[in-house]
Amino acid sequence: MRLTVAWVAVVLALGLAWGDRALEVVTPLASAGPGWETPLGRDHLGRDVLARLVVGAWSFVAPGALACAAALGLGVPVGAAAGWFGGLVATAQRALTASVESVPTLALVCLGAAIFGPTPLVLGALAGLAWAPRVAEAVRARLESLRQAELVLALEAHGVPPWRVLGHHLLWVGCRGLLARQALTLFAAVLTLETTLSYLGDLGVAEPTPSWGNMLSFEWGIDGNPWAAAAPALTLWAACAALAWLNEPEARRG
């Protein structure tokens, strides 16, 4: 796990360092194959495919992090209130969740991009807002089951203040695994959303800024360096599969 985190950190640091390299157009070397300087070759404008792949990771990492912060920041307090107080608060939370979940997330993000402009900030904020009710629902369901646990009754009987029972014992100890899973699912959803919008064009990351989605779209139907399209396609599939794998303990256990 630590090795994976270190590897991701190195890729993201390289992404910051290679910003100019990813945009440098070398027309005479258009669609050149892999070599020492460019291990994945060049695209049909002569830009370094590896540099674009690494820099393109930031196109979903930044909105993904923002979406996770927004979803957890909004969803956890609402879910905690619904799970702790129950009654009307829980009913209102359920109604809110049902309303937001009725609109497909991609449709909500497209509409938001049309209204506010297709920026990473808008993508991250809207994905976070769309996901917050799911986080709230998951937290409420967990708290409702934990609320009646003997441990909680014992803590209350020992005079532990309610804010500590809720904040530490129920949310931190009882829900942190659940929240990590929710964050991972949301991050995978943002990866899919961002690359999809960039692939389809107009509402996603626009050229020349690299994204794995617009790299694929840019190379559609062009002969030359096959890695210019294969590299983002394989990386995207591997990233989606890895996130799904991490989030599925049942499958890992076999």
The smaller minimum CB distance to another protein, of residues 55 and 203, is found at: 203
Q: How far is the CB of 217 from another protein (least distance, A)?
A: 9
Please check whether residue 139 is in contact with residue 183, taking contact to mean a CB–CB distance below 8 angstroms.
no
36 lies in the site for another protein, by CB under 8 A: no
Of 71, 64, 69, residue with least CA distance to 132: 71
Please check whether residue 189 is in contact with residue 59, taking contact to mean a CB–CB distance below 8 angstroms.
no
Of 64, 78, 68, 67, residue with least CA distance to 139: 78
The smaller minimum CB distance to another protein, of residues 154 and 244, is found at: 244
Residue from 7, 85, 172, 237 in contact with another protein (CB under 8 A): 237
Q: Rounded to whole angstroms, how far apart are CA atoms 214 and 137?
A: 34
Residue with structure tokens 């997330």?
Answer: 105
> Within positions 183 to 212, which residues make up the interface with another protein, using CB under 8 A?
192, 195-196, 199-200, 202-203
Residue from 111, 149, 154, 206 in contact with another protein (CB under 8 A): 111
The interface mask with another protein, positions 112-151, x = CB under 8 A, is xxxxx-----------------------------------
228 lies in the site for another protein, by CB under 8 A: no
The smaller minimum CB distance to another protein, of residues 48 and 219, is found at: 219
Q: How far is the CB of 102 from another protein (least distance, A)?
A: 4
Q: How far is the CB of 192 from another protein (least distance, A)?
A: 5
110 lies in the site for another protein, by CB under 8 A: yes
The smaller minimum CB distance to another protein, of residues 12 and 230, is found at: 230
Burial label for 223, CB within 10 Å (0-12, 13-18, 19+), is exposed
Q: How far is the CB of 209 from another protein (least distance, A)?
A: 19
Q: How many Å is the maximal CA-CA distance in the chain? A: 77
101 lies in the site for another protein, by CB under 8 A: yes
Please check whether residue 139 is in contact with residue 79, taking contact to mean a CB–CB distance below 8 angstroms.
yes
Q: Rounded to whole angstroms, how far apart are CA atoms 38 and 48?
A: 6
Please check whether residue 186 is in contact with residue 67, taking contact to mean a CB–CB distance below 8 angstroms.
yes
Of 147, 145, 143, residue with least CA distance to 135: 143
8 lies in the site for another protein, by CB under 8 A: no
The interface mask with another protein, positions 71-100, x = CB under 8 A, is ------------------------xx-xxx
Residue with structure tokens 């674009």?
Answer: 52
Residue from 38, 105, 211, 214 in contact with another protein (CB under 8 A): 105
Bridge partners of 232? none
Residue with structure tokens 């002569």?
Answer: 46
Q: What residues contact 248, with CB distance under 8 A and at least 6 apart?
A: none
Judged by the rule CB under 8 A, the positions of this chain that interact with another protein are: 95-96, 98-108, 110-116, 192, 195-196, 199-200, 202-203, 213, 216, 220-221, 229, 233, 236-237, 240-241, 243-245, 248, 250-251, 254
